[in-house]
Amino acid sequence: MSDGAVRSPFLALEDVKTHFPVTQGFLFRRRTGAVKAVDGVSLAIQRGEVLGLVGESGCGKSTLSRTIMQLLRASGGSIRLEGRDLCAVSMKQIRRERINFQMIFQDPYASLNPRMTVYDTIKEAIRTRHPHVGGRAMIRRVSSLMDKVGLAPKLMRKYPHEFSGGQRQRIAIARALAPEPKLILADEPVSALDVSIQSQILNLLAKLTRELGLTMLFISHDLGVVKYISHRIAVMYLGRIVEIGSPREIMEKPLHPYTQALVSAIPFPDPRLERTRRRMVLEGDPPSPMDPPGGCPFHPRCPFAEAACAREVPALKEYLPDRPAACIRIPEIHPGIGSRE
């Protein structure tokens, strides 16, 4: 972050850790281990930026988003929103500040209360910011929000089960926007939707962040989706960030071997080109976060691994300007980039 000294980032994560204790026994529990779902993540998001976070399932993406949301409390590190460390704030105080950061969930069939109309759902969320709005002013606000997310306001008296998946996700987006948040965490917001609907929701999210100047952390396991909406992409593997770069840089010149594998997994839309695509197939499954491999967490599956990789965890290092990556082998894999110290 070359200008990091000039303006402090909007959201800054510093060595964030979220560990879940593994316990045994009934009344007298013993701690027998820990799942290190998020293990030392440092990230900075600028105001108005959309940061994409990709990684395979189980790598800790959702845990990280819930930790930022303070639905889970971090076991270590700091999460600064506009300079204020949320991890140091009491839960009581967090509740009052929640309106500043909102979340869009993966499953629009589970994220809406089935007993509440669209109007009630959005109204309740608007009330968190404007407790005294009511009557026609409230109807106007709800209409306006529905209009903004592409839903006909005349449907506001309907219930979630009367809508399609895409429409439900629009309702969920309207609810997330209702408290007028500054930060949106979108946790796989399109993964549960049909491909044809995915692009509509992506376009909507892109439009809204642009128009409202929102900052967004966009989480997905699908690099093809993330590259479309993000200004920058962070790649996560087993609780750690392994590479950060612009979508173009990540797609055209992935530095980390894991990113290379991810990029090579995206199919080309053209069947003739698709036949020439060279895939880098990773062997084996991601290791258990309960028992991560020593050294670089990726080394057991990495085609470039050498003995040194098993010894220590590689730190994120800027091999190119604004292109941090966590791999000691990058100078060898990419001749001419960086130097090994």
Partner 1 sequence: MIRTTLSPSPDDLPVPKLEELERGSSLWKDAWRRLRQNRLALIALALFTVIAIVCVLGPFMTPYGYEEQRLAYGAQGPTWEHWMGTDALGRDQLTRIMHGGRISLSVGFMATAVSLVIGVLYGATSAYIGGRTDAVMMRFVDILYAMPFTIFVILLTVIFGRSLYLIFIAIGAVEWLTMARIVRGQVLTLKQQEFIEAAVSLGYSNGRIILRHLIPNVVGPIIVYATLTVPAVMLLEAVLSFLGLGVQPPMASWGVLINEGKDAMTVYPWLLFFPALFFSLTLFSLNFLGDGLRDALDPKSSKD
Q: Which residues would be at the binding site for partner 1 (CB under 8 A)? A: 26-27, 29, 48, 66, 69, 71, 94-99, 101-103, 105-107, 110-118, 124-125, 128, 130, 136-137, 139-141, 143-145, 147-148, 153-159, 161-162, 172, 175, 177-180, 182, 211-213
In angstroms, the CA 14 to CA 40 distance is: 8
Shortest distance, position 269 Cβ to partner 1, whole Å: 32
User: Which secondary structure element, helix H or strand E, spans residue 135, and what is its range?
Assistant: helix 135-148
Q: Which is nearer to partner 1, 110 or 310 (CB)?
A: 110
Closest approach of partner 1 to the CB of residue 224, in Å: 24
Taking the complex as a whole, the smallest distance from the CB of residue 78 to partner 1 amounts, in Å, to: 20
Nearest distance from C-beta of residue 208 to partner 1, angstroms = 10
- DSSP class of residue 23 equals E
Nearer to partner 1, 189 or 254 (CB): 189
Min dist. Cβ of residue 92 to partner 1 (A): 10
Least distance between partner 1 and beta carbon 27 (Å): 7
DSSP string, 77-105: EEEEETTEEGGGS-HHHHHHHGGGEEEE-
Q: Sign of dihedral through CA atoms 179, 203, 191, 250?
A: negative
Strand order in the sheet with 84-85: 30-45, 11-24, 76-81, 84-85
Token reading at 211: 């128009």
Question: How far apart (Å, rounded) are the C-alpha atoms in residues 20 and 192?
Answer: 26
> What type of residue sits at position 6?
V
Instruction: Decide whether 139 or 206 has the Cβ nearer to partner 1.
Output: 139
Nearer to partner 1, 113 or 288 (CB): 113
Q: How far is the CB of 135 from partner 1 (least distance, A)?
A: 10
Shortest gap between Cβ of 112 and partner 1 (angstroms)?
6
Nearest to 209 by CA among 12, 100, 51, 9: 51
Distances (CA, A) of 255 to 85, 227, 242, 278, 286: 32, 16, 10, 17, 20
Contacts of 204 (CB under 8 A, 6+ apart): 149, 150, 170, 173
**Sign of the CA dihedral running 37, 101, 81, 210:** positive
> Minimal CA–CA distance to 323: which of 215, 261, 232?
232
Structure token pair of residue 307: 């003995």
Q: Find the shortest distance in angstroms from Cβ 277 to partner 1.
A: 36
3-state helix, strand, coil in the chain (%, to 5): 35, 25, 40
